[in-house]
Structure 1
Amino acid sequence: MAGRTAEPEVIWARPERAGRGPKPAYSRADIAAAAVRIADADGLDAVSMRRVAAEIGCGTMSLYNYVPRKEDLYELMVDLVSAEYDLSGEPSGDWRADMLDLARQARGIMRRHPWLVRVMSTAYSISPNALRCLDWCLACLESLDVPASTKLELFGMVNGSVMVYVANEQAVAERTRSAPWSAEREQAVRGAYMMSQVTAGDYPHLAALFAEGVAPPDDPEAAFDRILTRLLDSFDPKGRTGPGS
């Protein structure tokens, strides 16, 4: 064998400071805050160990003493913005309302930090603030009569749905940012083209759908709430009509 592979390391299991010696000049919070400022201002690609080191005023190699890998830096960033969830209150007793509120908060955080969608990962689900959020959600879901594993799936699907929704919002905004027309105008032109294709006869099922009447798109807030509510309702055992109901 060429040699043993190093064991993976969890940044949270790594002491922030040794038991002896001088106090470190910087904290993980300082480093994460600097990286988040850079990402918020200039995007995730602008976040480098060199630039973060310059932001806090230390040498690049010195930064590696605090954060061994760039992936660890991302994990610190995700944890820092996860502290923006307001989990100060007790669950209301209405698990749907609580989870919808959490989804709205998640969307707000992802919109404030557009880079977050790119680095969200289950690998980062063991950080202090991620565990705090998950524990709060499980408290909200105590009255939901489903297995614990299903509750974890619900939590994951809510997060995933919010990520997809925000990613689409970001893609639409990016597409029209430099265009000489509004997003609404582009949507109208694309809608007109789609209707011309549907009515040509090549897409009978779409034609039937449009013939029944399709409601015009409403505001993004209402659409978001409706999508998440349908997702949450699908986890309610009382609403099941298939096998096992």
Structure 2
Amino acid sequence: MAAHGRPAGPEVIWSRPERSGRGPRPAHSRAEIAAAAVRVADAEGIDAASMRRVAAEIGCGTMSLYNYVPRKEDLYELMVDAVCAEYDLSAPPSGDWRADMLGLARQARAIMHRHPWLPRLLSPAHGFSPNALRYLEHCLAVLESLDADTGTRLEVISMVNGIVTAYVDTELSMAERDRTSPFPPGAEQAARSAYVARVLAEGRHPRLAAAYERAPWPLDMDAQFERAVNRVLASFERESGGGGAGDGSGRSGEGTQVS
């Protein structure tokens, strides 16, 4: 073991015991450290959640924090795992895998909005923490009613998570643009829309003009999200030749507000 508790080589923090069987109880727990980092990132952004800042938040020295969290990457791992605990996985699979996966997608979207830094940290590297594994196990239980092999079921999970992350990332970018704009909310988007309308009125882009004229405005982001996820799920249902209870569409919740 290197200085300040840092491992000599690559090590997954979950394979390292939080506390050895001997000696005094540590002054701080991983849960406490993760909660402090999440609080800082929620309030000020992920870049503010430095080792120094998190150490100050829990009341210890920066070098002391390295005894608990050897690397910044490990701190991120703790943070992602902490917010993964927010999934409500208490209900057993209903047998309608599409409806259940849509429900999980809605939860994921809500979690990312509560923690806007999360899409930036999501990667396969953070997919195997205790709470992430709990989530994956639940998803695989949900997908047992999909007539497909395990690889395809894992692909469903990956694609749903990917589309939720991309969708929320766009929503957060739009919100950040409004937040930092010197103009009233929506003013810049209205100016862009007016510009596009003027260009399309010139007649050089007839197909785009027709599509733009028929497009609903303002966009219903909730309904658009539901459609996007449902289309991904429907593609897997078609490949499997069906599967799931009822029509498996999960359409009963389309357009509902995410809590």
Q: Normalization by structure 2: what TM-score?
A: 0.84
Residue 108 to residue 154, structure 1, CA distance change in 2 (3 Å): same
Residue 239 to residue 189, structure 1, CA distance change in 2 (3 Å): farther
1:215 offset after TM fit, Å? 3.1
The correspondence of residues 28-177 of structure 1 with structure 2, limited to 5 A, is 28-177=30-179
Q: Which residue of 1 aligns with 2:236?
A: 235
Q: Deviations over 1:113-163 (max 9, x none)?
A: 111111111100010000000110011111111221111111111111111
1:223 offset after TM fit, Å? 1.5
1:22 offset after TM fit, Å? 1.3
Tell me which moved more, 165-174 or 76-85. 165-174
CA distance in 1, matches of 2:182, 2:88: 37
Tell me which moved more, 187-196 or 62-71. 187-196
Q: Partner amino acid for 1:222?
A: A
8 Å Cα contact 1:29/1:80 also seen in 2: yes
- Deviating beyond 4 angstroms after TM superposition, the runs of 4 or more aligned structure 1 residues are none
8 Å Cα contact 2:77/2:126 also seen in 1: yes
CA distance in 2, matches of 1:163, 1:228: 11
Q: Which residue of 1 aligns with 2:184?
A: 181
Give the length in aligned residue pairs. Answer: 233
1:217 offset after TM fit, Å? 4.0
The correspondence of residues 221-232 of structure 1 with structure 2, limited to 5 A, is 221-232=222-233
Residue 218 to residue 239, structure 1, CA distance change in 2 (3 Å): farther
8 Å Cα contact 2:94/2:100 also seen in 1: yes
Q: Secondary structure at the match of 1:15?
A: coil
1:25 offset after TM fit, Å? 1.1
Q: Partner amino acid for 2:183?
A: P
Aligned partner of 1:21 among 4, 15, 23: 23
8 Å Cα contact 1:17/1:23 also seen in 2: yes
Residue 164 to residue 238, structure 1, CA distance change in 2 (3 Å): closer
Provide the alpha-carbon RMSD of the alignment.
1.8
CA distance in 2, matches of 1:232, 1:179: 40
8 Å Cα contact 2:147/2:240 also seen in 1: no
1:187 offset after TM fit, Å? 2.9
1:219 offset after TM fit, Å? 2.2
8 Å Cα contact 1:233/1:239 also seen in 2: no
Q: Which residue of 2 aligns with 1:243?
A: none
Q: Secondary structure at the match of 1:200?
A: coil
Q: Secondary structure at the match of 1:165?
A: helix
CA distance in 1, matches of 2:220, 2:182: 22
CA distance in 2, matches of 1:99, 1:92: 10
Q: Which residue of 1 aligns with 2:246?
A: none
CA distance in 1, matches of 2:34, 2:169: 23
CA distance in 2, matches of 1:179, 1:86: 39
Relative contact order (alpha carbons < 8 A, sep ≥ 6): 1 or 2 greater? 2
8 Å Cα contact 2:148/2:240 also seen in 1: no
Q: Partner amino acid for 2:145?
A: S
Q: Partner amino acid for 2:220?
A: D
Tell me which moved more, 41-50 or 72-81. 41-50
CA distance in 2, matches of 1:80, 1:186: 36
Residue 210 to residue 115, structure 1, CA distance change in 2 (3 Å): closer
1:194 offset after TM fit, Å? 1.4
CA distance in 1, matches of 2:173, 2:16: 37
Q: Secondary structure at the match of 1:236?
A: helix
CA distance in 1, matches of 2:240, 2:16: 46
